[in-house]
Chains A and B, each alone.
Chain A
Amino acid sequence: MTRDAVIESLEHYFDDGGFWDDLARRVAIKSCSQDAPFRPELYRYLNDEITPYLADLGFESEIFENPQEGGQPILVARRHEGDDLPTLMTYGHGDVVRGYDDQWRDGIEPWEMKKEGDRWYGRGTADNKGQHTINLAALKACMDARGGKLGYNVVALIETGEETGSPGLREFCRQNKDLFKADVFIASDGPRLNAERPTVYFGSRGVFNFTMSLDLRDGGHHSGNWGGLLANPGVILAHAISTIVDAKGKILLDDLKPDPISNSVRQAISKLKVGGMEGDPEIDPDWGEPGLTPEEKVFGWNTFEILAFKTGNPDNPVNAVPPKAFAKCHMRFVAGFDPQVVLPAVRKHLDGLGFNNVELTPDREYMAATRLEPDQPWAKWAIDSLTVSAGEEIAVLPNLGGSLPNDCFAHILGLPTIWVPHSYPACSQHAPNEHILESVSRSALRLMGGLFWDLGETDRLPLQ
């Protein structure tokens, strides 16, 4: 068997419906980590779906309770071929965001995969079930091709809390470093630069969420009898927000901005082009930090968002001065930026402007930003393998615009991290109508088949 034969077998797997069946089965499990009632589904995903699949591949699986109270279960599966062989660590997450069942377009729904043209709809198709389904299938194909051997050991970590910020994952990795001794980390999540362009990235922007809230009094008061006498919290909070980020999305606090973009990162980014593909939303060129290219804004800069804002009863407004208002705020930041500066800086800023009564509360554990220099040996190895399989120049991102718990692997476990994303930007990840593209999924199977085959060519690896 050869590298080409592996790729061909994966094409058969896809074309014969094997991939559809594996993924449809996984999408049907409502493993939403954001709603407590779905918790049994997380266990079901690991116990009934992933464990048996990996057992067939000779993995021994163990499900660990999350070290953090309320955190979700974590599956660790190991396949050992030899002490002298290199070890691959891989990762996926079996949980998904809420279904938002009633918000999907007619004819499609979150928990039953449906095909329409090139699109396969379903919650988790893009994030992340489709992606780890591709990778596990590629490992299987490589093993079949080498007569039941991969040529390396594998440790796989499948968590089920990623969509709630991967609680406990860092602690778990810290406590179980021995389980995860490896030479390289390869996994898949997030989107390609665009659907057509195979992509590799070596880190991610970090994420930090916090709530700005203003609670002025108990209850609403008639806006006629009291209008003019009672401060309106919606008005005040809108003002507070407008002093942090301007009407064109520019962050106004220096403390919330990253260091200037380095030349090497700027250079890597300059080969990238975001948006402009079918299904992509139209980019707002005037939005964000002035003077940056759109690609620099996503891959090289911090962003501040209002994810949600509420005052009063928006669904049934009544004629009353509302008592409180809150805004769910959200920052994405690049490597080198310390999110722990955010709240003190915003606090000081708001106090200086008289917004002392606006409260700031961190919403959950932040995710640190990571980045691996594109000229590192493992990075070059991956770029070469993927380029051969793709037959064209691939997109190399110093980091993803989105966020991953990659600091667990890059910082805590100290592994070179290689991410090969199989989704695309307009996949409606985290929103109704989530989907993957059939064409991208088929191409992704080829890329991963080649990459996991090449990992078995031990003498060509940049092993230390």
Chain B
Amino acid sequence: MTRQHAIDAALAHFDDPEGFFEDLKARIAVPTESQNPARLPDCYAYLEEDMRPAFEAMGYACRVYDNPFDGCGPVLLAHRDEGADLTVLGYGHGDTVLGQEGQWKDNLDPWTLMKLGDKVYGRGTADNKAQHSAHLAALKAVLDARENLGFNHKFIIETGEENGSKGLKELVAREKDAFAADCYFASDGPRFDVAKPNLTLGNRGAFNFDLVLDLRAGGHHSGNWGGLLANPGIILASALATVIDVKGRILVPALLPPPITDTVKNLLTDVTRETSAGGPAIDDDWGEPGLSRAEKVYAWNTFEILAMKTGNPDNPVHAIPPKAVAHCQLRFVVGTDWENIVPNLQAHLDEQGFGMVKVQPSTGGNAAFFHAARTPPDHPWAKWVRAAVERTTGEACRMVPNSGGSICNDVFQDVLGIPFVWLPLSYTGCSQHAPNEHILWSLTREGLELVTGVYWDLGDPETAYRLERNAA
């Protein structure tokens, strides 16, 4: 059996109407919203009733850990020990953001996998169920073809990623031996160019915080009190205008990263960001002036108002609202002073005369806090994975220093101390985190091919990644 046999077998499973589609359909049908506490049993069900049997069938020993934090999602660790020198760690997350039922086009049900042309819709398709499903299918194809992997493999499926991976770091630190590995390879997020694969070597961090202005207990008639009572919506609008300018440039120096390094600049010279069919038009006059599109997303920080509310927007009444809240987010790259975002922003507001606006870490279901992380672009593991991908595609594979989005790389970077490389299998127009989330069927098929190639090469003595190279 050869590399190509394994890939062909993986693709045959993919193309079988009873194959990959049905596997994914069953997984999408479990509403694993980690931002909704009522879905915790669904998260357990996803791990115990789908992931565990799938891994055990491939000879993995599985253990499902309760989350160290009450009410947070469990974590599955699957381990196939072949007594090899090399242990590779994989990862996926079984949870999703909220379904946003009723907001999907044509009233599509987020929990029913639906193929319309090349697009396959469903909550969690892109993020992350189709991606880890591709890994499972690839592993099965390699095992069927070779009867062993040729390396030791551990695979994490967590169910709290959309909730900031709360508890994962603590769990891995506590069970460090169980999770220990030499290097890390997994899939999440989008490739930057829908037409070509790329590797991603890290992630932007994310920190969510609220700007809250709570002036008084209730609303007051805008005629009787208009002119006498400060309006929190007006004040908050003005306060936000001092934090970010009208073209999206961050105005608070403490929220910015250090200057972009030459290494990162070089990596990004041949990285472009184009919108894809159905994707949003890019606003080139938005964000930090002078940066390329790629630099804005992969090498700079962004400030967003994710949501803001004052009064009763859906049923406004003639009253001065008592309170205004802006749910904000900073995405940041390595080197940003993330530990002091709250005090630094509060100091800025105080200085601008907006001391009544309070900065607080978010407490909602989306209360993300991810560290920024990055594997050095010249690390042997990064180069090895790139070569493995190139063996399938026959052409150069680009690398980005980190994703624009955020994930729990700090667990691998800081707790396990291993290099991590991602091969994203989605694309930027996938409406991840919004209604109409979908994957491209053709792209997922290509991804399965690439992942199968990587797992094959890892266990093939001709191509295997050797740790001593790393040591050298």
Contacts and interface: CB of A to CB of B under 8 A. Distances in A.
B317 interface: yes
Contacts of A401: 223-227
A132 B236 CA distance: 39
A330 B320 CA distance: 10
A344 B311 CA distance: 26
Contacts of A235: 240, 244, 246, 248, 303-305
Interface in A11-53: 34
Contact of B248 (A220, A228, A316, A317): A228
Closest 8 CB pairs of A and B: A402-B223, A224-B405, A312-B307, A308-B311, A297-B227, A228-B296, A314-B309, A310-B313
Contact of B317 (A204, A218, A400, A431): A431
Contact of A308 (B313, B368, B404): B313
A33 to B, nearest CB: 12
Contacts of B241: 238-239, 242
A318 B366 contact: yes
Given A318-B306, A319-B433, A231 B283 contact: yes
Nearest to A127: B221
A459 interface: no
Interface string A289-324: 100001001100101111111111111111111100
B431 interface: yes
Interface residues of B, number: 98
B129 interface: no
A320 B218 CA distance: 30
Contacts of A239: 237, 241, 245-246
Interface stretch (A264-272, A277-285, A412-420): A277-285
Interface size class of chain A, counting residues whose CB lies under 8 Å from the partner chain? 35 or more
Contact of B231 (A274, A282, A306, A312): A306
Contact of A307 (B302, B316, B329): B316
Interface string A385-404: 00000000000000011110
A138 B393 CA distance: 91
Contacts of B325: 314
Interface stretch (A85-93, A141-149, A244-252): A244-252
13 contacts: A190-B224, A220-B431, A223-B306, A229-B293, A241-B233, A246-B238, A247-B234, A298-B224, A303-B222, A315-B309, A316-B364, A317-B364, A318-B35
Contact of B305 (A229, A238, A245): A238
Interface stretch (A66-74, A112-120, A422-430, A444-452): A422-430
A321 B296 CA distance: 15
B362 interface: yes
A228 B35 CA distance: 25
A305 B226 CA distance: 8
B271 interface: no
A336 interface: no
B154 interface: no
Given A224-B206, A229-B273, A433-B218, A281 B304 contact: no
B433 A313 contact: no
A309 B223 contact: no
A322 B310 contact: no
Given A305-B234, A318-B433, 18 more contacts: A222-B405, A222-B434, A229-B286, A247-B239, A281-B229, A287-B229, A305-B233, A309-B308, A311-B307, A314-B325, A314-B327, A317-B208, A318-B307, A319-B368, A322-B306, A400-B223, A430-B219, A431-B317
Given A235-B240, A305-B320, A432-B218, A314 B224 contact: no
B159 interface: no
Instruction: Report which residue of A225, A281, A320, A433 has the largest number of chain B beta carbons within 10 angstroms of its beta carbon.
Output: A225
Contacts of A314: 307-309, 313, 325, 327
B318 A207 contact: yes
A234 interface: yes
A230 B283 contact: yes
B230 to A, nearest CB: 4
B434 A282 contact: no
A327 B303 CA distance: 21
A287 B227 contact: yes
A305 B244 CA distance: 23
B428 A281 contact: no
A316 B297 CA distance: 25
Given A229-B282, A320-B433, A332-B226, A238 B204 contact: no
Interface of A: 34, 97-98, 190-191, 204-205, 207, 209, 217-232, 234-239, 241-242, 245-249, 274-275, 281-284, 286-289, 294, 297-298, 301, 303-322, 325-328, 330, 332, 354, 400-403, 425-426, 428-433
A247 B235 contact: yes
A321 B283 CA distance: 13
Contacts of B435: 219-220
B331 A224 contact: yes
B432 interface: yes
A317 to B, nearest CB: 4
Q: Is the interface of B mostly helix, strand, loop or mixed?
A: loop
Interface of B: 35, 97-98, 100, 189-190, 203-204, 206, 208, 216-231, 233-241, 244-248, 273, 279-283, 286-288, 291, 293, 296-297, 300, 302-321, 324-327, 329, 331, 353-354, 362, 364-366, 368, 403-406, 428, 431-436
Contacts of A205: 223, 226
Given A235-B244, A287-B230, A288-B228, A309 B309 contact: yes
B315 A98 contact: yes
Contact of A34 (B189, B223, B273, B315): B315
B223 A247 contact: no
A319 B431 CA distance: 12
A319 B318 contact: no
Instruction: Report which residue of B208, B220, B364 has the largest number of chain A beta carbons within 10 angstroms of its beta carbon.
Output: B220
Contacts of B313: 308-310, 314, 326, 328
A248 B238 CA distance: 9
B306 A317 contact: yes
Contact of A328 (B97, B291, B316, B368): B316
Contacts of A224: 189, 203-204, 206, 331, 403-406
Contacts of B297: 225-229
Contact of A310 (B230, B309, B317, B368): B309
A97 B305 CA distance: 31
Contacts of A330: 222, 318
B227 A223 contact: no
B273 A238 contact: no
A321 B281 CA distance: 13
B429 to A, nearest CB: 9
Contacts of A238: 236-238, 240-241, 305, 308
B126 to A, nearest CB: 9
Contacts of B282: 229-230
Contacts of B331: 223-224, 227-228
B379 to A, nearest CB: 23
Nearest to A428: B218
A234 B305 contact: yes
